[in-house]
Amino acid sequence: MLGYYINLALRSLRQNGVLTVLMVTAIGVGIGASMTTLSIFRAMSSNPIRDKSSRLFTPQIDNYGPGGEGAVTEPTSDHLPMELTYTDSVALMRAHRARHQVAMYATVVAVTPPDPRQLPIQVPTRATYADFFTMFDVPFEYGAPWSALDDDGAAPVIVLARDLNDRLFGGANSVGRTLRLNDQEYRITGVIEDWNPMPRFYDLYSGKFGGPEEIFMPFTRAVAQRLPSAGMTQCLKNPGTGPDVLLHSECVWTQLWVELPNDAAVRAYRSYLAGYVAEQRRVGRFGWPARSALRDVSQWLGYNRIVSSEVSVLLLVSLAFLLVCLLNAVGLMLAKFMARAPHVCTRRALGADRRAVFGQCLVEAGVVGILGGLVGVGLMMLGLHVAAGLFSGAAVALTRPDGGDVAIALALSVGATLLAAMYPTWRASHVQPAWHLKVQ
């Protein structure tokens, strides 16, 4: 019976091509516009490390106190600093209250290529600990991370990103070779595969949707070499000048992440963090009831409002536009179904009941929805291609559709069309045969 209804629907759509084109176009344009913004919204709000997001936590400490909101570039809902001081990061690392933990910050180094014909380049670098790669499931193409002993000894070791390894060594296995950074030799221990989580949850201040970092080195080495922070540094007051002043100041510029495997570990770390803050107050560092917080990845992304209000408003506008397109489609379907009233009445007179007529009209609406969805997918691809020109660097990845976007577009098109067709279909199935047969 379904095949018969589909055959009737295709015949009916061919008989009145103008109305069919108008309906499909109305639905396709609405789907294309709404899915373009929805795809970008989904990419921006996605969880970049879904499998472990409930086990990775970042602490916050209120080292600004009352009136410190003015030092925060992007105020949060509870006015806690987004990052930690060097003092707090080192103290929490030394306490080692988590199975895996990493302090880190963004910096930049000057790289001298091994090929003398190439000029030195500035490369974005992540100063961190060896646990970084294990905690964040960073895949390796060659080699492995440096060791904990390298962290302790501030060893001159690095891990390269695949893209930089391709540029400097032609993609060959460079593990064990040396590379000159800031006029010092560093030994390469590993090369990671392409890895650039978006948003960059572990350091939102160095670029939520920025390009990948190409060199990783021990945090202790970067500090020993006094490599400056390339991320956001926020200070309540001027810390002064000098190579070491930032290390002993109340300026926040480092990030800390810990891996806690279960609820008991989370409670224990939260209790330890509160005790640490209380101890800092007792020794006179804080003259206020300092607060602390511990958030996992999902909570952290929501807390930082990763999706801008402009994108959210644009999504609402596009969905409103889809609603307008569907209302136009309702009018067109109503005109099409009511124009077929004589045919419907003849079927009813020959024994078809209202359910049969209702089912046939819904199948026809479903076919229209599928066609509109296909047109919408094409317009979505075009819209994302145009949107890619508005982004720069790695953020272009936000405009790349996936299979989920296509499936959502088709499902939304068919579902919305069937919903919009309910009233026209109900009207068509309730036409009184006697009225039209008498006229005939």
- Residue 302 lies inside a defined structural domain of this protein: no
Residue 224 and residue 341 in one domain: no
Residue whose tokens read 């107050």: 281
- Residue 91 lies inside a defined structural domain of this protein: yes
- Residue 250 lies inside a defined structural domain of this protein: yes
Report pTM: 0.76
Residue 67 and residue 29 in one domain: no
pLDDT of residue 414: 84
Q: What would the 3-class secondary structure string for 90-115 be?
A: HHHHHHCCCCEEEEEEEEEEEEECCC
Residue 9 and residue 97 in one domain: no
- Residue 357 lies inside a defined structural domain of this protein: yes
Q: Which of 257, 252, 208, 225 is nearest to 93 (CA)?
A: 257
- Residue 204 lies inside a defined structural domain of this protein: yes
- Residue 295 lies inside a defined structural domain of this protein: no
Residue 84 and residue 111 in one domain: yes
Residue 35 and residue 156 in one domain: no
Residue 90 and residue 232 in one domain: yes
- Residue 270 lies inside a defined structural domain of this protein: no
- Both tokens of 396, joined, read 């272009």
Residue 115 and residue 238 in one domain: yes
pLDDT of residue 439: 47
Q: Which of 163, 221, 201 is nearest to 47 (CA)?
A: 201
Name, in order, each residue with C-beta under 8 angstroms of 363's C-beta and a sequence gap of 6 or more: 2, 5, 6, 8, 9
* Domain stops at, among 259, 291, 322: 259
Residue 39 and residue 70 in one domain: no
Question: Total structural domains in the chain?
Answer: 2
pLDDT of residue 367: 83
pLDDT of residue 67: 64
Share of the chain above pLDDT 70, in %: 80
Those residues of the chain that have pLDDT short of 70 are 1-13, 67-77, 242-243, 307-310, 335-359, 388-399, 423-440
Q: What share of the chain is helix, strand, coil (3-state, %, to 5)?
A: 50, 15, 30
Residue 40 and residue 73 in one domain: no
> Domain range holding 131?
63-259
- Residue 54 lies inside a defined structural domain of this protein: no
Residue 15 and residue 40 in one domain: yes
